């Protein structure tokens, strides 16, 4: 699938991804700090991916969904690279994800501070009496983020 807007493009083709660029962002993110490149590669292989591309074809953002395609999906690793932020691309990226998964009834995600981005699409706080999670801190799994990386 592909979507186009204002010269930007979103594609679900994993072959188009600049995996190096995706990894270089994710390893500095608060949710996957110091993630090894092979973990990113394997997570991409096991996910439905959404690559956001700038008019020159460069990677401008990314999102992925871990899903069975029918009942459930976990939206993860959503980002727009700094130079491309603040022009509606993050909202468009989530819009395209939801368009593609319109027949999947249950979607979840985790976020530290972007609740407002997702609330506009109907995401809300889960009922704590019905949800349980087990989430290790990235530094427990991948070690501390190295200085200057």
Ligand X SMILES: CC(C)(COP(=O)(O)OP(=O)(O)OC[C@H]1O[C@@H](n2cnc3c(N)ncnc32)[C@H](O)[C@@H]1OP(=O)(O)O)[C@@H](O)C(=O)NCCC(=O)NCCS
Which residues of this chain interact with ligand X, rule CB under 6 A?
A: 78-80, 85-91, 111, 113-114, 116-117
Opening angle at CA 53, ends 77 and 103, nearest 5: 55
10: nearest Cα among 97, 87, 77: 97
Q: Which is nearer to ligand X, 70 or 122 (CB)?
A: 122
* Of residues 30 and 103, the one with the C-beta less far from ligand X: 30
Q: How far is the CB of 133 from ligand X (least distance, A)?
A: 15
Contact yes or no for 138/26 (Cβ under 8 A): no
- Residue 111: CB minimum distance to ligand X, A: 4
Q: How far is the CB of 50 from ligand X (least distance, A)?
A: 12
């Amino acid at each position: 699938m592909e979507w186009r807007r204002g010269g930007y493009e979103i594609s679900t083709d994993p072959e188009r991804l600049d995996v190096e660029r995706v990894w270089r962002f994710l390893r500095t993110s608060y949710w996957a700090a110091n993630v090894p490149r092979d973990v990113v590669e394997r997570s991409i292989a096991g996910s439905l991916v959404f690559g956001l591309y700038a008019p020159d074809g460069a990677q401008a953002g990314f999102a992925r969904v871990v899903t069975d395609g029918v009942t459930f999906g976990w939206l993860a690793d959503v980002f727009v690279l700094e130079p491309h932020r603040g022009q509606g691309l993050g909202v468009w990226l989530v819009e395209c994800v939801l368009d593609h998964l319109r027949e999947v009834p249950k979607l979840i995600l985790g976020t530290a501070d972007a609740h407002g981005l997702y609330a506009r699409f109907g995401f809300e706080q889960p009922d704590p009496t019905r949800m349980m999670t087990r989430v290790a801190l990235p530094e427990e799994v991948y070690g501390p983020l190295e200085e200057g990386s």
